[in-house]
Amino acid sequence: MITTDAPTEDPGKSHVHNVALTRRRTLLAGSVLGGTALLLSGCSEDSGPGKGRQDADAAAEARLRGQAARDSAALLARYDATLAAHPGLDERLRPLRAEVARHAAAFGASPAPSASAAPSTQPRAGASASAPASSAPPAPSAPPVAPDEKQARTDLATAERRTADARAAALVSAPPELARLLASVAAAGAAHAYLLTEAGA
């Protein structure tokens, strides 16, 4: 009796075929995972330094604004001290002081009391001694004022000029919007200095 057996697959060939498929799938999966990792890495690298630069720029601008606000507050304190020591200068200094107060507000300084309002050092009635202090920075202490009216004006003009010079120097590192504000305020300070001198009398 003659029988015809169905052809059987060579086990060796089957093993080679399976290994080839497995390696192909591994390479394909690896390339997909590698591409995904590269894409995610690229996104992270693109956003990381950019965000860091933005944070650094914002911090630098905040420092410049804070310094400008402190300079304006100190100048305002000098105007108030001069007005308190020389009431006869009120008509001449009051408009300049008002403009300095507007500059301080533009830089984010806390509103200053009017020149005629003297700060009280007595605690309010019913206030607790353990009450938490305000988070706002303390107001600048009143600077000394020359007893001579002319010298007092000269000292005020010097303070205006020094502040204007500091703001002009800050323009180099300031962002555009803040640089424009600094330039405008510096020009106003230079004009104030001129008006406070004998040449501007």
pLDDT for the residue numbered 9:
52
Residue, of 92 and 24, whose pLDDT is higher: 92
Give the domain range for residue 175: 55-110+146-201
In a domain, 19, yes or no: no
DSSP letter for 8, please.
P
Our count of domains for the chain comes to: 1
HSE-CB for 15 with a 13 A CA cutoff: 3
For CA atoms 26, 31, 33, 34, the dihedral sign is: positive
In a domain, 179, yes or no: yes
Tens of pLDDT, residues 80-90: 999 999 999 99
pLDDT for the residue numbered 86:
96
For range 11-36, the mean pLDDT = 48
* Number of Cβ within a 10 Å radius of residue 139: 16
In a domain, 121, yes or no: no
Residue, of 9 and 189, whose pLDDT is higher: 189
For range 117-124, the mean pLDDT = 38
In a domain, 131, yes or no: no
In a domain, 185, yes or no: yes
In a domain, 16, yes or no: no
Give the whole-angstrom CA distance, residue 27 versus residue 33: 10
In a domain, 15, yes or no: no
- 34-38, 59-63, 95-99, 113-117 — most confident range: 95-99
What are the angstrom distances between the C-alpha of 197 and each of 144, 154, 194, 201? 19, 6, 5, 6
In a domain, 65, yes or no: yes
